[in-house]
Amino acid sequence: MKNIIKYIFFVIIVVSYNSNSFGAENSAKLLNPGWSFKGFTGTFDRASLQRGYQVYTEVCAACHSMKYLSYRNLSEPGGPEFSEEQVKIIASQFEVIDGPNSDGDMYTRAARLSDNFVGPYANEQAARALNGGAYPPDMSVLVKARKGGADYIYSVLLGYGETPSGVTLDDGVYYNTYISGNKIKMANPLTEGLVQYSDGTSATEEQMAKDVVTFLAWAAEPHLEARHKIGFRAILYLIVITILVYFSMKKIWSRIETEV
C-alpha cells in the first residue's frame, strides 16, 4: 500500500508540474464569480444559460459567430433547455442560404433546428474589413481555447477601465487589464441595462458577464453535465471494485505468505 501512496503522490507531482509549466503570461489574477458547473457534480444554471444565450444573441452575435452549434442544441438536455417550440421560433428568425433547388437556383429560407448558428459575416475577410483588421474569433469553443477558461473570458469582459498613464493606444484599441499585452480591439461590450432580462434579473455588467460566460462554457462543452454524472458513477464503481479486488488479492496471496 505504501507504494501505491507513493505512486499517487507521483501522479500529483506530474500534474502540478505540468500545469505550472504553462505558467501565466499575464500576472493579473483572474476574476472568479463562482461557477455552478465546476466540481465533481457541477451542473449549469439553466436560467443563467438562457439569459446567457440572450446576451450572446443580442450583444456578442453582432460580431462573433458560433458555427459549431446548431439551434437544436438549445433544447437538448444539459443545455439551456429551451422548449422545442421556443427554439423553432428562435431559429426561424435567421435566414440561411439553401439549394440548389430543382431549377438550379440557390434560395434563402428560415433556419431550422438542424441548421448551425448563422454567423454575422459572410467570411473572415468581411469580418476583418468591418472590425479594423481584427477578426472576432468564433465563440463555439472559446472557453476551452483560452488559458484560464471561463475565469479568463469573464475577467476580460469586466477588465475594461481607465487607461493607465503612460500607455498610448491606437485608434480602435482599448485597454484591458486581463488580455495579454493589455490591448484589445474589442470595445467594452457590456454596459449596465444593455439587455432586458425577461425573468426580472437585473442586468448588471457582472450578471451579464457571468450569464454569457456560463452560456459559452456550455457551448464549448455541451456534454459537461453528462460527463460529470457518468464520471461520478464510474469513479464510485471503480473504487468499490478496487476494494473488492484488494481483498481478493489479499486472500489469494495469503496462501503464499503462510507457505513461506
Partner 1 sequence: MSDNSYTPDSKIGKWFNDRLPLLTLSKHLQDYPTPKNLNYWWTFGGILTFCLITQIVTGLILAMHYVAHADMAFESVEHIMRNVNYGWLIRYVHANGASMFFLAVYIHIFRSLYYGSYKSPREIIWILGMIIYLLMMMAAFMGYVLPWGQMSFWGATVITNLFSAIPLFGESITTWLWGGYAVGNPTLTRFFSLHYLIPFLILGLVVLHIWALHVPGNNNPIGIDLKKPSKDTVPFHPYIVIKDLFALLIFLIIFAFFVFYSPNILGHADNYIEADPMVTPAHIVPEWYLLPFYAILRAVPDKLLGVIAMFAALFVLIILPWLDTSKVRSAIFRPLYKQFYWFLVADVLILGYMGAMPAEGWYLLVARVATAYYFIHFLIILPVLGQKEKTLDVPQSITEPVLGGSANQSLAKEQKK
Asked if 196 touches partner 1 (CB under 8 A), the answer is no
Asked if 230 touches partner 1 (CB under 8 A), the answer is yes
Contact track, partner 1, 96-135, x by CB under 8 A: ----------------------------------------
Asked if 25 touches partner 1 (CB under 8 A), the answer is yes
Amino acid type, 206: E
* In the complex, least distance from residue 86 CB atom to partner 1, rounded to whole angstroms: 20
Q: What is the rounded CA–CA span in Å between residue 163 and residue 176?
A: 8
Strands 95-98 and 183-184: unpaired
Which of 198, 153, 194 is CA-nearest to residue 32? 153
* In the complex, least distance from residue 69 CB atom to partner 1, rounded to whole angstroms: 8
Contact status, residue 132 vs residue 183, Cβ threshold 8 Å = no
How far out from the chain centre does Cα 126 lie? 26
* In the complex, least distance from residue 13 CB atom to partner 1, rounded to whole angstroms: 8
Q: Which three cell numbers stand for residue 35?
A: 461557477
Q: Which three cell numbers stand for residue 3?
A: 507504494
174 has which bridge partners? 184
* Interaction site with partner 1 (CB under 8 A): 3-4, 7-8, 10-11, 14-15, 17-22, 25, 40, 68-69, 73, 137, 140-141, 144-147, 149, 180, 220-223, 226-228, 230-232, 234-235, 238-239, 241-242, 245-246, 248-249, 252-253, 256, 259-260
